[in-house]
C-alpha cells in the first residue's frame, strides 16, 4: 500500500499552504528523509521529507495549488528488499557454423572485385570538358538577395502568479498603509567611532567567538537602549488599547530569492554582542536556505532593515504590523561635515524611523532616533548608563 505524503503543521494559526517546487518527479526513487516537495505558507517555507525509502508514484497536488494542513499531496510506494539478480554470461556474436567473423559466402575473386569497385574514384565527365566550361561561363552569377528591412523587435509578456509568501507580504504592507498613520523622520550618523572599533577589535573578536563583528549588533544594542527610553516605540495598538512590553523582540529584515523575511531575535535586551552576531548570522543563513521555522518569524516588537547593503542612500521603510515602528539603515558614504568650525570628511549614514503616529508623537520619534544616533557615535555611554 502506498505511503501518503501529508501537509505538516507549519504554524499555530496556519491552516492552508501552497505547494512549491517538487524536488522529485513521478517515478523517481527516494531515500528516507530526502526532501520531496517545498511547502510554502504565509509565515515560512519548509521542505517535506520522505517518511520511507521508495518511489514517488503519484503527485496529487501540483506546484502553485493550495492544500490544507493534513491533506495528502503525494504517494510513495515503499521500497521492497529484492533478491540479488543472477549473473549470466553475456552471449557472444552469433556466426554461422564453421564460419569466422567477417567471412562471406562469395568466392575470393568476386570479393576482391567488389572491394576494388568500392575504392575506385568517381567517373570522369565525357568529352574534354570544354563544353562544360563554356556553359558554366555563360550562366549568370547568383546575386545576393536584396537587403530587407529589419524585423520589428519581439514584444512579449510573462505572467507568473505570486507565491503565497509574496502575496501575504503584499497584503500586510497594504494593511500597514491603510490602517496605520505612518510617518517617517530622518537623521544622519557619524560612523567613525564604530569603524575604529571594528578595525581594532574585529580580529580578536572573531578569534574568540568565531563570528564577525558587524554593524547590526551595534544598531540592535542602540535600539534596545532607545526602546527602553521611549517604550511607546516598542508598543502595539490592539483595538482601542495600547500594549506596552518590558522585552525587546527585534526583527532583522533579510532579503532572500523568494522575498523579504523578518526573523526575530528574542529578548534582544539580554544578548551580548557575540550572541547577537551569532544569532543574526544563523537566522540570515537559514533564511537564505529556506530553513526558517514558523516560530522564527512570529511576533516581534520592533524591526531593523538595512537597505545600505544594496547601496540605498535614503528610503522610507514600511512598518511590519502589528509593530509600531521600523528603523531603516542606509549606505555609509564619506561626506564633508562641520566639526568644531572645520570641514572634515567623515563616513556618514542616513537613518530613517517610520512610525505609527497613532501612538508615537513626532517628539518621541525624533528623540528616539537622536538617541540611536548618540549611542552609535558614542558607544561607551551604553556601558555607563546601563
The predicted-structure confidence for 239-286, as pLDDT tens digits, reads as follows 999 999 999 999 999 988 777 889 999 999 999 999 999 999 999 999
Domain annotation covers residue 372: yes
Distance in angstroms (rounded) separating the CA atoms of residues 216 and 222: 10
For residue 34, is pLDDT > 80? yes
**At which of 78, 95, 110 does a domain end?**
78
Distance in angstroms (rounded) separating the CA atoms of residues 103 and 58: 54
Residue carrying the nine cell digits 571594528: 198
Domain annotation covers residue 147: no
Q: Which domain holds residue 37?
A: 3-78
CB 214 within 8 A of CB 204: no
CB 303 within 8 A of CB 251: yes
C-alpha cell at 158: 510573462
One domain for residues 341 and 222: yes
- 282 classed as catalytic: no
The predicted-structure confidence for 47-63, as pLDDT tens digits, reads as follows 889 999 999 999 999 98
CATH of the domain at 40: 2.40.50.100
Percent of the chain surpassing pLDDT 70: 81
Domain annotation covers residue 277: yes
Q: Show the CA angle centred on residue 148, arms to residues 145 and 151, nearest 5°.
A: 140
CB 235 within 8 A of CB 242: yes
- In angstroms and rounded to an integer, the radius of gyration of the C-alpha atoms of the chain is 36
Average pLDDT, the chain: 83
The predicted-structure confidence for 64-118, as pLDDT tens digits, reads as follows 888 998 999 999 998 765 555 555 555 544 444 444 445 455 444 444 545 454 4
Domain annotation covers residue 208: yes
Distance in angstroms (rounded) separating the CA atoms of residues 59 and 228: 52
The predicted-structure confidence for 333-374, as pLDDT tens digits, reads as follows 999 999 999 999 999 999 999 999 999 999 999 999 999 999
**At which of 63, 78, 93 does a domain end?**
78
Compute φ and ψ for 347, nearest 5 degrees.
Answer: -75, 115
Catalytic residue among 68, 95, 267, 357: 357
Confidence of residue 149 (pLDDT cuts 50, 70, 90): low
Distance in angstroms (rounded) separating the CA atoms of residues 333 and 54: 57
Domain annotation covers residue 90: no
The pLDDT, as a whole number, for residue 88 is 52
- 361 classed as catalytic: yes
Catalytic residue among 21, 28, 33, 361: 361
The predicted-structure confidence for 211-229, as pLDDT tens digits, reads as follows 999 999 999 999 999 999 9
pTM, full prediction: 0.71
16 has which bridge partners?
Answer: 68
**At which of 26, 45, 78 does a domain end?**
78
C-alpha cell at 210: 568565531
Distance in angstroms (rounded) separating the CA atoms of residues 262 and 254: 6
The predicted-structure confidence for 160-213, as pLDDT tens digits, reads as follows 888 777 788 788 888 888 888 999 999 999 999 999 999 999 999 999 999 999
Per-residue CA distances from 341 to 21, 233, 337, 344, 357 (Å): 61, 35, 10, 9, 37
Compute φ and ψ for 69, nearest 5 degrees.
Answer: -60, 130
Domain annotation covers residue 64: yes
Burial of 96 (0-12, 13-18, 19+ CB in 10 A): exposed
How do beta strands 236-238 and 241-243 pair? Answer: antiparallel
The pLDDT, as a whole number, for residue 243 is 96
Q: How many structural domains does the chain have? A: 2
One domain for residues 230 and 357: yes
Amino acid at each position: 500500500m502506498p505511503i501518503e505524503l501529508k501537509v505538516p503543521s507549519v504554524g499555530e494559526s496556519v491552516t492552508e499552504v501552497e505547494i512549491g517546487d517538487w524536488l522529485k518527479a513521478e517515478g523517481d526513487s527516494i531515500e528516507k528523509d530526502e526532501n520531496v516537495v517545498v511547502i510554502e505558507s504565509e509565515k515560512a517555507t519548509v521542505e517535506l521529507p520522505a517518511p520511507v525509502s521508495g518511489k514517488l508514484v503519484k503527485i496529487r497536488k501540483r506546484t502553485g495549488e493550495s492544500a490544507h494542513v493534513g491533506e495528502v499531496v503525494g504517494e510513495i510506494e515503499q521500497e521492497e528488499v529484492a533478491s540479488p539478480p543472477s549473473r549470466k554470461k553475456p552471449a557472444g556474436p552469433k556466426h554461422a557454423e564453421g564460419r569466422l567473423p567477417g567471412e562471406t559466402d562469395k568466392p575470393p575473386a568476386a570479393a576482391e572485385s567488389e572491394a576494388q569497385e568500392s575504392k575506385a574514384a568517381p567517373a570522369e565527365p565525357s568529352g574534354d570538358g570544354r563544353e562544360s566550361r563554356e556553359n558554366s561561363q555563360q550562366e549568370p552569377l547568383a546575386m545576393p538577395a536584396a537587403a530587407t528591412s529589419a524585423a520589428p523587435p519581439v514584444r512579449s509578456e510573462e505572467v507568473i502568479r505570486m507565491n503565497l509568501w509574496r502575496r501575504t507580504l503584499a497584503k500586510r504592507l497594504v494593511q500597514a498603509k491603510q490602517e496605520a498613520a505612518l510617518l517617517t523622520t530622518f537623521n544622519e550618523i557619524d560612523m567613525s567611532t564604530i569603524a575604529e572599533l571594528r578595525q581594532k577589535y574585529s580580529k580578536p573578536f572573531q578569534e574568540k567567538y568565531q563570528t564577525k563583528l558587524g554593524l547590526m549588533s551595534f544598531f540592535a544594542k542602540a535600539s534596545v537602549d532607545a526602546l527602553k527610553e521611549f517604550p511607546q516605540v516598542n508598543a502595539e495598538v490592539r483595538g482601542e488599547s495600547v500594549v506596552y512590553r518590558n522585552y525587546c523582540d527585534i526583527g532583522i529584515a533579510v532579503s532572500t530569492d523568494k522575498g523579504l523575511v523578518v526573523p526575530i531575535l528574542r529578548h534582544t535586551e539580554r544578548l551580548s554582542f557575540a550572541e547577537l552576531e551569532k544569532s543574526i548570522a544563523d537566522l540570515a543563513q537559514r533564511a537564505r536556505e529556506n530553513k526558517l521555522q514558523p516560530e522564527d518569524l512570529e511576533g516581534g516588537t520592533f524591526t531593523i532593515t538595512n537597505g545600505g547593503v544594496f547601496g540605498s542612500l535614503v528610503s522610507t521603510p514600511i512598518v511590519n504590523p502589528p509593530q509600531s515602528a521600523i528603523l531603516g539603515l542606509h549606505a555609509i558614504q564619506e561626506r564633508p561635515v562641520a566639526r568644531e568650525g572645520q570641514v572634515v570628511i567623515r563616513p556618514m549614514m542616513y537613518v530613517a524611523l517610520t512610525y505609527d503616529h497613532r501612538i508615537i508623537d513626532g517628539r518621541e520619534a525624533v528623540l528616539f532616533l537622536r538617541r540611536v544616533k548618540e549611542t552609535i557615535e558614542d558607544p561607551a555611554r551604553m556601558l555607563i548608563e546601563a
